[in-house]
Amino acid sequence: MQVSSRFTIAVHILTCIDYFAGEHTITSSFLASSVGVNPVIIRQVILQLKAAGLVEVFRGKKGITLSRSLENITLYDIYEAVESVKGHLFRFHENPNPKCPVGREIHSALDGKLDEIQEALEAKMRSITMRDITLTSQHSSCSCV
């Protein structure tokens, strides 16, 4: 199991939007230069963040803005917006052998534990806001554009 890079890209995007608000017009090209990926990827992630109500997109000088304050955006909100993993985080192999004592019992032995792990991960993600991870260093000139 691995969370895709879309999650960290989305966190990077939201951090940039906050950090450079009022200093730069935030566009997909601007964000791509900071993240280090193609603007097409940025636009895809922005669309997911917009659909989740985390950003707003305007033409012209307003650019991309946050829809909520950083205190009201959790890592879970971002994860839910951009990850294609819906429902169970762990995918179980489909055909354990019911004639084998291990194959017959593996689901009952493991399912509850995997659910507990997923619940703990999601609870921790819900407890961390974007305010908790924003950059607090002094603003300096941006050499990413």
pLDDT tens string 95-116: 889 999 999 999 889 989 988 9
Q: How far apart are CA 105 and CA 118, in angstroms?
A: 21
pLDDT tens string 63-93: 999 999 999 999 999 999 998 666 677 777 8
Sorted by where each starts, the structural domains of the chain and their CATH numbers stand as 5-133 (1.10.10.10)
Average pLDDT over residues 118-122: 91
**Of 28-32, 40-44, 126-130, 138-142, the least confident:** 138-142
- Single pTM value for the model: 0.84
Q: How far apart are CA 89 and CA 98, in angstroms?
A: 24
pLDDT tens string 10-67: 999 999 999 998 888 999 999 999 999 999 999 999 999 999 999 999 987 889 999 9
